[in-house]
Amino acid sequence: MTHIADRVVADDTLTSAQAPPDRIALARVAVEEILAAAHEAGDWHAVRTLHAVCALLSAARH
* Rounded CA separation 43/34 (Å): 11
Task: Pick the closest to residue 35 from 46, 26, 24 (CA basis).
Answer: 46
For 5-17, write each residue's pLDDT tens digit.
666 666 656 656 7
Share of the chain above pLDDT 70, in %: 71
pTM of the model: 0.58
CB 20 within 8 A of CB 28: no
CB 36 within 8 A of CB 51: no
